[in-house]
Structure 1
Amino acid sequence: MVNRRRFLTLSSLAGLLPSLSFSSAKAVHTSDGPDSQLTTSEGVSPLLSGPIAISTWKQPKANAAAQAVLDGGGRALDAVEAGVRVPEADPEDMSVGYGGRPDRDGHVTLDACIMDEKGNAGSVTFLEHIMHPISVARAVMEKTPHVMLSGEGALTFALSQGFKKENLLTKKAEKEWREWLKTAKYKPIANIERHDTIGMLAIDSKGDISGACTTSGLAYKMRGRVGDSPIIGAGLFVDNEIGGACATGLGELVMRTCGAFLVVELMRQGHTPQQACEEAAMRIIKKQDYKDIQVGFLALNKKGEYGAYSIQPGFNYTLSQQKRTEVTDAKSYLK
């Protein structure tokens, strides 16, 4: 089983001639329970029917929360918010929300964004002391004339909306940070940082799509650093006519290519979700020394077709529909 908090470190790449792969994805895990089923995606993703929730990484609990909303006839927007709130509140998930690894100064700072089927969006960056930044982002979308609030302003707004101020630095995360301080060596490489983000996309019973993305960002980052996760068009983008996409990995590379927007636009041009994710990754690979970095894309179109692709192996995603949940290893450029 792939540990979603660790990208695999490639011990040797000498002589490797990477090529674009279109091999089939392999389902590696299914949820427990009498209604669970194991399925394997062969080639092009199957056309699905009914509500769908799909998220980056192994997130069965998050997907279950989203699916409960969808099964009750709820909006995709409500589903993705409910879904990503699960890892936000999980102290064992050290890359999202409560328990997230701090910046180099010992502060847990959070980024999140959300986007609905009408193109409305909300975002918060550099937010401290609030366990559920995704809900603050939704409040920004619904209760302000803005799309993004940051830092002290985002915190002030959150408190005005009734969110509780809390200490998000757990003893476990603090212990790791103090151990890191002994050398304070920093290199923003996703494979080493064990960094991941939860991005979630959903289609509801009306066929509407929404998405959410939330993270505590790179461990031991420079104070004030913001990645792609809260940026509409980079870490997340939704167009209800076409579909949605989200990204994970080293955010600086995703921002430089407007990754999620690019994936959706490629789908608009006729690419399948899988082809769009692969092309978006290639845009990075062609311009970047990719051997020690990781970026992964996940996409879902209006037909219910989905795709995922990453630079390095180790990226996976969770799909839920009709009481079935599976975690699947994404295809990757390097093997």
Structure 2
Amino acid sequence: MTYGTIATWRMAHEGVIKATELLKKQKSAGDAVETLINRVEAYPYYKSVGYGGLPNEQGVVEMDAAFMNGDDLAIGAVAGIQNVKHAVSVARKLSKLHFNSFRVGEGATRYAIQNDFEMVNMLTPRAKKIWQNRLLEIQEKKLDPYDGHDTVGAITLDQQGSMAAATSTSGLFMKKPGRIGDSPLSGSGFYVDSEVGGAAATGLGEDLMKGCLSYEIVRLMAEGRTPQQACDQAVYPFIEKLQKRYGKAGEFSLVAMNKAGAWGVATNVEFTFSVGNDKQVPVILMANPGPDQTTCIEPITQAWLDAYEKRIKAPIKSL
């Protein structure tokens, strides 16, 4: 039977491996995507998601996450939640509610506490040092404070034909308190329909929200486009529109998978992602914008992997 998963960035790869193992054992798409995102949330060296994620300008880690069930279209989401180790798990539980399924700030955190989710100080010593260094750079060198806005977003398809989508992020580094990006917003950060397929986004939320690209990709797949055609046709014309009418376009990338396990990607930057299905073991690939509004995809090299591991684990020195 067909199954598969696709997720944004190199950081998702170990989660994709685990999710694929679960799907092979006929576990549900929901369980697989939650497990995938949990793996990323718990790893302290990923600076844009979960534990070890970089904080807002006041040194507080505010997390956004969402979960969507492709069978019944149920959605749960949290935004600005604090001190919760697995924000996506809170979002999934909220998806089972008809009312009050999207909660923000103190209300989201209180719900997590009341429902016995694991609570922890999400600001690690490493992330705190990076934040302190950035404060000094802003003051002394007049640098732009904003840096880093990568979301882990994933789509899963199980052997029963059910699909799920989920996202998690600590958001824009040095963001203003209360800032929310696209990641917890259906249609922008994610969308999935088990009768068609799903998509998930990563990048600058303020610009992604202008296009509702995740929904647009699913809509195009419903009209008969392959996932790759849908990604290309949704993303690249929108980038041109944004540049023409808004004057600029931030960095963003999207991944998609349809109900048959086929997948696609589109991006306006160098972008890594991980994908696996019943025909292909999980692999990390690199995507770049290609000619004529297409996407170039190729395997990453061992040298790239080695450099990546060295970079994310490099000691942080105080300025």
8 Å Cα contact 1:308/1:331 also seen in 2 = no
Given residue 100 of structure 2, which amino acid in structure 1 is its aligned partner? H
Aligned to 1:69: 22
Give the Cα separation in 1 of the matches to 2:129 and 2:215: 38
Q: Deviations over 1:43-101 (max 9, x none)?
A: xxxxxx62111111112211122123212211101100011000100001111000000
SS in 2 for 1:219: coil
Q: 2:308 matched to which residue of 1?
A: none
Instruction: Give the length in aligned residue pairs.
Output: 282
Partner SS for 1:256: coil
Deviation at residue 106 of structure 1 after TM alignment: 0.4
Structure 1 counterpart of 2:137, which letter?
T
Percentage of pairs with the same residue: 35
Superposition deviation, residue 128 in structure 1: 0.5
Contact 1:101 1:177 in 2 (8 A): yes
The offset of 1:173, in angstroms, is 0.7
1:237 to 191, 194, 219: 191
- In the alignment, the residues of structure 2 paired with residue 298 and residue 195 of structure 1 have an alpha-carbon distance, to the nearest angstrom, of 16
TM-score by length of structure 2 reads 0.84
| 308, 312, 321: which one aligns with 2:277 | 321
Deviant stretches of 4+, over 6 Å: none
Q: Deviations over 1:302-331 (max 9, x none)?
A: 12111001012x112111234711111124
Indicate the residue corresponding to 1:140 in structure 2.
Answer: 94
1:51 aligned partner, one-letter code: Y
More off after superposition, 231-240 vs 318-327: 318-327
Alignment partner for residue 105 of structure 2, among 141, 151, 158? Answer: 151
Alpha-carbon contact 2:76-2:91 (below 8 Å) kept: yes
The alignment's C-alpha RMSD in Å is 1.8
Give the structure 1 partner of residue 49 of structure 2: 96
- 1:287 alignment partner, SS class: helix
Q: How far apart are 1:165 and its partner, in Å? A: 2.4
Matches within 5 A, 1:1-335: 50-58=2-10, 59-116=12-69, 117-143=71-97, 145-184=99-138, 185-186=143-144, 188=146, 193-289=147-243, 293-312=250-269, 314-322=270-278, 324-333=281-290
Alpha-carbon displacement from aligned partner over 1:27-57 (angstroms, at most 9, x marks no partner) = xxxxxxxxxxxxxxxxxxxxxx621111111
Query: Bigger CA drift: 290-299 or 117-126?
Result: 290-299
User: 2:66 is paired with a residue of what secondary structure?
Assistant: strand
Contact 1:66 / 1:79 at 8 angstroms: preserved in 2? Answer: yes
8 Å Cα contact 2:55/2:131 also seen in 1: yes
Task: Find the aligned partners of 1:51 and 1:285 in 2 and give their Cα distance.
Answer: 31
1:269 Cα shift?
1.6
- What CA distance in whole angstroms lies between the structure 2 residues aligned with 1:306 and 1:68? 18
What is the rounded CA distance, in whole Å, between the counterparts of 2:241 and 2:56 in structure 1? Answer: 28
Cα distance in 1 between the residues matched to 2:20 and 2:48: 23
Secondary structure in structure 1 of the residue aligned to 2:175: coil
Unmatched runs of 5 consecutive residues or more in structure 1: 1-48
TM-score, length-scaled by structure 1: 0.80
SS in 1 for 2:209: helix
Q: Which amino acid aligns with 2:84?
A: I
Please list the CA deviations of residues 110-148 of structure 1 after superposition, one character each: whole Å capped at 9, or x if unmatched: 000001122111000000100100000011112462331
Structure 2: how far apart are the matches of 1:226 and 1:74? 32
Q: Which amino acid aligns with 2:128?
A: E
Query: Structure with the greater relative contact order (CA < 8 A, sep ≥ 6): 1 or 2?
Result: 1
Structure 2: distance between partners of 1:156 and 1:120: 22
SS of equivalent to 2:103: strand
> Does the aligned pair in 1 maintain the 2:251–2:268 contact within 8 Å?
yes
CA distance in 2, matches of 1:86, 1:285: 31
